[in-house]
A and B are shown apart, each in its own frame.
Chain A
Amino acid sequence: MTDETTAARETPLAQRHVALGARMIDFAGWLMPVQYAGIVEEHRAVRERAGLFDLSHMGELYVEGPEAGSALARALVSDPRTLPVGRAQYSMICAPDGGVIDDLIVYRLGAERYLVVANASNTAVVSDALAERLDGMRVVLDDRSLDTALVSIQGPESVAALAPLTDVDLSTLRYYAAAEGTVAGIPALVARTGYTGEDGFEVFVAWERAGDLWDTMLEAGRSRGAIPVGLGARDTLRLEAGMPLYGNELDRGTNPFEAGLGRVVRLEKEGDFVGRVALEKAAAEPPRRRLVGLVVRGRGIARHGYPVLSGEAVTGTVTSGTASPTLGVPIAMAYVAPRDAEPGTMLDVAVREQPVAAEVVALPFYRRKR
């Protein structure tokens, strides 16, 4: 290993996290807060009030030019050309064999301008793949991951906390929409997106303005009961909301259909795209396995990598699992054989070699009241 890979990068907020008492870990090469007050307390704050997240480690890739839409339609499985300006879509970039390279959010910022947000662990791979796939088209790829900070506020009090700080009209900003404006006087892209199952916003600003943004948002948020939230609660929140995590539910060996995300793949779109042949085949064939929700009924917690049993036989593997802070029971996501995927099916999870009863349930585990 070289020094480059051993020294974790710091977001512009790293020292603030330490000052707030966060426990810091190396995540995807970044020094990130895993928890401040505690995962359960942070989780509950987001469900009941609001929480503030530093997501500056994520990748921001701008794609601009006359052929930006068609270039992205060729590179990704979705069709960004169908997005109205100011709207966003969940998307994926797949390999020619249909395996998922990363899951993404694509924002249409202008007629010929898009923002692609990638997972921190995959930013370099996505950036390289896009550069290759966009080559020869009238489009410019600008990887601004290290110039763009991202602060997110999530939870039912998000609107009340953020509205006084911004000139963006949050009352008309729909879910999966984004608008450029200012937050705390700082030029920002404000998006109504998130990864928690709650209402909330993601605010993109220049790297060097992130400290001021964080301080102002935290102060405004605190008056609404918001607290800073680390990656630990981010994981339990997204798991309750049934949202996939790359590296757990999604990877190069998984296609979107197995993950229950076939709707993201727009096979009907015009033109070729990377992975089309393999994904048409995957769509037409019965899946080898399916992603399901599990609620553990016995005593134990299902964790990533634990085998799932149907009777004596192994039917699959747990991809993510924890004790659900909201539901008060252990929950998990797992890939199982299609015949074992119906809600109500009773399976076992091998917890340290001991079978523990678990019931297949429909995802998500948690859905907010609107």
Chain B
Amino acid sequence: MELAIGIILGCCALGAGMAMIAGIGPGIGEGNAVASACEAIGRQPESQGNVTTTMLMGCAIAETTGLYALVIAILLIFLAPGRFVNILVETMNNIK
């Protein structure tokens, strides 16, 4: 029983860690977007307002991908272990 619970907890933590791999992408993407925006503003300083607005919206959209991963990780860490252990305990009780 303890082994099964340990496996459940370990798998949840592993899954949360793997989910957060998706959090790397938005950081790289936002970094590239801002670097390109710097270049664009350097060429045309008068367009700073428009570039900033567009980039803010773009960054917000890019960040959503990371948020999906974050939510999956949060659910796997805070909610899933309790639910899975409950299911395991109920199943063991039914078998007995």
Check if A and B associate.
Answer: no
- Report which B residues bind A (CB closer than 8 A): none
